[in-house]
Structure 1
Amino acid sequence: MKKAAPYLILILLAILVIFLKHWKGQDGNNQNVEKGGKVTNKRNRGFDRTLSYIEYTVHAKCRMKCRHISQEDIEDIMRNGQINYSKSEVNESPCPVYAVQGYTHDREHIRVIFGQCDNKTKVITCYNLDQDFECHCPGDPVTKYEKAQKILN
Structure 2
Amino acid sequence: MRKAPILYFLLVLLLLAGWFLTRTNNSQPTENNRFADKVSKLVYTKHGRCRMDCRQITEAEVKEIILQGRINQQKSDPADKPCPTYAIEGYSSQDNQHIRVVVADCQSALKLVTCIDLDKDHRCSCY
State the one-letter code of the partner of 1:75.
K
Greater Cα shift, 66-75 or 93-102: 93-102
Could you list the runs of 5+ residues in structure 1 that have no partner in the other structure? 1-45, 140-153
1:127: which partner in 2? 116
Q: In the aligned structure 2, how far is the partner of 1:64 from the partner of 1:118?
A: 24
Moved over 6 A (4+): none
1:49: which partner in 2? 36
Identity across aligned pairs (percent)?
Answer: 40
Structure 1 residue 67 corresponds to structure 2 residue 55: yes
Q: RMSD of the TM alignment (CA)?
A: 1.4
State the one-letter code of the partner of 1:73.
E
Change (3 A) 1:88 1:47: farther
Q: CA deviation at 1:52?
A: 2.4
TM-score normalised by the chain length of structure 2: 0.69
Q: Is the Cα–Cα contact under 8 Å of residues 47 and 116 in structure 1 kept in the other structure? A: no
Q: In the aligned structure 2, how far is the partner of 1:135 from the partner of 1:117?
A: 27
Q: In the aligned structure 2, how far is the partner of 1:80 from the partner of 1:72?
A: 12
Structure 1 residue 103 corresponds to structure 2 residue 91: yes
State the one-letter code of the partner of 1:55.
V
Structure 1 residue 89 corresponds to structure 2 residue 74: no
TM-score normalised by the chain length of structure 1: 0.58
- Per-residue CA distance 1:42-92 (angstroms, 9 max, x = gap): xxxx94232223110011111100000000000000110100000000122
Q: Is the Cα–Cα contact under 8 Å of residues 35 and 67 in structure 2 kept in the other structure? A: no
Aligned length: 93
Q: Which structure would you say has the larger Rg?
A: 1
Could you list the runs of 5+ residues in structure 2 that have no partner in the other structure? 1-32
2:66: which partner in 1? 78
Q: Is the Cα–Cα contact under 8 Å of residues 116 and 122 in structure 1 kept in the other structure? A: yes
